[in-house]
Amino acid sequence: MENLEGFIVLVDISGYTKFVRSHNMKKIPFLGKQVEKKTEAHAEHIISDLLECVIEELEGTLTVNKIEGDAVLFYSTPANLNEYPKFLIDKIRSSFEIFAKRLREIAFCDSCPCDACHQMGNLKLKSFIHFGDFMVKRVSRFEELAGENVILAHRLMKNSIKSSEYILLTENANKICGSAYLPAVESRTESYEDLGEVSVSVFYPDRETHEPSATDGMSFIKKARQMQQYFKNTYRREQLSEKYTPST
């Protein structure tokens, strides 16, 4: 077991529960089960695709620890805390742009009648940044982060923030990088039964301007063809976990 100090970062896709809400369709004999199966496969494919785009943007700046459902746990132990914080914040912010760009690129999915494809536009990204000490346990080629700070970072994913798109920094993280590189952060306090009051800072990305979808002006037939090709092979998070599991 290795004791380290550094950043613990969680990136989470919000809106996933509504994204796969078609579970009630299974009550319809035969057809319902088929619709449910298709919706779940498409939802899994889209979420995995979006997660990989974010991972590719952040990898190198952060180390992937593991994929947790529709979230990814990262960490880093930078040697230089003078230069690294700005680089980290810039990368976190750019991951929001990459996420939104990928959603625009696969907008042809709206030619599919399943609920997941029609709800994908509601998916948003959230990021949680904490700084502190933690432990890394290695079992075979797998790593597990442990410690109170890891628990705190996860608990902050459940909060009272109404927005579905934001960057949250704990007080420790904000002292190192938040106020210097993120404009107009909101200071607030979150309360937890087992942790008490936790001071956090929240940054809301500017979404006033929206770039057009890559499929604007595209015929329905062309979008349908692209959609069929896109879903030709099922893309699952198990594949991502395998791809990004570090070798030891």
Angle between the N-to-C axes of helices 31-58 and 84-105, in degrees from 0 to 180, rounded to the nearest 10: 150
Distances (CA, A) of 10 to 128, 129, 167, 196, 237: 5, 7, 10, 21, 16
Global pTM reads 0.87
CB 141, CB 100: distance < 8 Å: no
Say if 213 falls within a structural domain: no
State the CATH number of the domain containing residue 124.
3.30.70.1230
Say if 105 falls within a structural domain: yes
Say if 98 falls within a structural domain: yes
Say if 161 falls within a structural domain: yes
- What are the backbone angles phi and psi of residue 189, rounded to the nearest 5°? -125, 130
Say if 212 falls within a structural domain: no
Cα separation, 225 vs 234, whole angstroms: 16
Range of the domain at 97: 2-206
Say if 241 falls within a structural domain: no
pLDDT in tens, the chain (248 residues): 788 999 999 999 987 666 555 445 455 555 556 667 788 888 889 999 999 999 999 999 999 999 998 899 999 999 888 889 999 999 999 999 999 999 999 999 988 888 888 888 889 999 999 999 999 888 777 788 999 999 999 999 999 999 999 999 999 999 888 667 888 889 999 998 888 899 999 999 875 445 666 677 778 889 899 988 888 877 777 777 777 776 55
Say if 239 falls within a structural domain: no
Number of domains in the chain: 1
